[in-house]
Structure 1
Amino acid sequence: MRKGLMMLVGLLLLSCSKPEEGCLDIRATNFDATADESCCCTYPVLRLLLSHAAGSVFHSPDSVYVNDAGQSYRIMGVDYFLSDVALLVEGTGWVRVSDSLTVTLEDGSILTVDDDILHVSRNQSSYSVGTLLTEGVIDSISFRIGLIPDLVSVDPEAFPADHPLHSPPDVLVDPTGGFGSVAVKLIAPAENGDTLTWSAALSTRVTLDVGQTVLTGYDVEIPMTVDYLQWIREEDVAQPSVINVTDWMARIALSFRYGNL
């Protein structure tokens, strides 16, 4: 009799217990198979890990570099927009982050684009692109240095206050109107030289082989190295006004490679 009463009390207590909340979506980073009710899922993020290099070593603004013409210079700063990011996943095709951005244009029309825009500078190495739901082997990554054409002329005030395009650095604002793509600040010659800023409003596309496996429910971190010496190697630092911007952007695209320094 007593044993039966104890079992009954136990069943009553079990039936009155509060259901355990947790994430029941296997794609989430906090998936919990023991939960009773689904709640509060956190999904994987695509993150780019950039090594800022000068040849085979990390770039330093204090270091003196020499280009192919024997001209000395120092790279004091680098700024550029990186956007339009896509991963080629084996058996799936091209995948992108799920985050989107909606802005109201001056004529009142609405523009919706992928919210994967990054302002890259020498002072930061880890960049969160956005939420990404995928699995399998990543064959390659493709991205744009600069912005898609639809965004180039949008008023910065149209973007949220915490967005990279709301308050861009002056070097990434095109003097003729709109956003620039890339800018690099130099001192040339290295000793007691002038401070020069090279910039371009053109965008260029970069595609790199990856060969990296991602599992369901895990963040995706893509390591890359960018060699800033390649940006300057063939240019005449004494005459930046004669730079062929198209050729320069092509060399910038070739300065990226997959993997850490």
Structure 2
Amino acid sequence: MLSLSSCYENVEGCLDPNSSNYNVASDVDCEDCCTYPTLSLLVAYVLGETSYNRMDTLTNDIGIEFVIEDAQFYFSEIVLSDGTEDYRIDETFEYSDINGTDRIAIDDIALVTPNVFRYSLGTFTQSNDYTRLMINLGVPEIIDKAQSITVTSDHPLVQAGDSLFIVDQNQYVNSWI
């Protein structure tokens, strides 16, 4: 008669292959331990084929020189597509719509300013080969008409002095030059 015994202990870890910390050696899925890549966009300012910085002297097609002293704009509703399905980031925030009903919106809004070139938009858990990127210029209409928005103090939609929110009109300006 042969008797075998083992003291093997299950290894807990992330079992989602789309995560950054996928652990193929894990036996048991951990609770909320998976980390995912962040969707980041890099913004470059270009006129024709020439990159430029704020306060550079630029020349238009008819030879007139000009300087862009400041420019800001919102982009939102970022969608990656593989040709079959569309994908969006995972983070959300709460807002009250025009009727006062509490709602949830995808938190993929960025305020592009002249001195920042990389924008971290949130967690992206889908892994795929993407063929198309779609971006809305401006704040989504449902947010622009919201009665209230619940976001952190460093969020692009915070209604502070340097934001693109017009208090007396209770709406956002989508772009400003």
For Structure 1 versus Structure 2, the TM-score category normalised by the shorter chain is: 0.7 to 0.9
| Residue equivalent to 1:118 | 110
Q: CA deviation at 1:25?
A: 1.3
| Residue equivalent to 2:146 | 154
RMSD: 2.7
Sort the Cα spacing of 1:112 and 1:127 in 2 relative to 1 into closer, same or farther, 3 A.
same
Sort the Cα spacing of 1:168 and 1:87 in 2 relative to 1 into closer, same or farther, 3 A.
farther
Q: Which of 44, 50, 61 is the matching residue for 2:43?
A: 50
Q: Which of 7, 23, 28 is the matching residue for 2:14?
A: 23
Q: CA deviation at 1:126?
A: 1.7
Mark the runs of 5 or more structure 2 residues left unpaired by the alignment.
none
| Residue equivalent to 2:27 | 36
Sort the Cα spacing of 1:27 and 1:96 in 2 relative to 1 into closer, same or farther, 3 A.
same
Sort the Cα spacing of 1:164 and 1:69 in 2 relative to 1 into closer, same or farther, 3 A.
same
Q: CA deviation at 1:156?
A: 6.7
| Residue equivalent to 1:102 | 94
SS of equivalent residue, structure 2 residue 70: strand
CA distance in 1, matches of 2:27, 2:113: 45
Q: CA deviation at 1:181?
A: 0.3
Does the 8 Å contact 2:144/2:171 carry over to 1? yes
Does the 8 Å contact 1:47/1:129 carry over to 2? yes
Percentage of matched positions with identical amino acids: 24
- Considering only CA atoms, is the larger Rg found in Structure 1 or Structure 2? 1
CA distance in 1, matches of 2:20, 2:66: 46
CA distance in 2, matches of 1:157, 1:104: 7
Q: CA deviation at 1:132?
A: 2.1
- The structure that is helix-richer by fraction is 1
Q: Count the aligned residue pairs.
A: 172
SS of equivalent residue, structure 2 residue 86: strand
Q: How high is the TM-score relative to the length of structure 2?
A: 0.80
Q: Which amino acid aligns with 2:105?
A: V
Does the 8 Å contact 1:89/1:137 carry over to 2? yes
Q: Name which structure has the greater RCO, CA cutoff 8 Å, separation 6+.
A: 1
Q: Which amino acid aligns with 1:129?
A: L
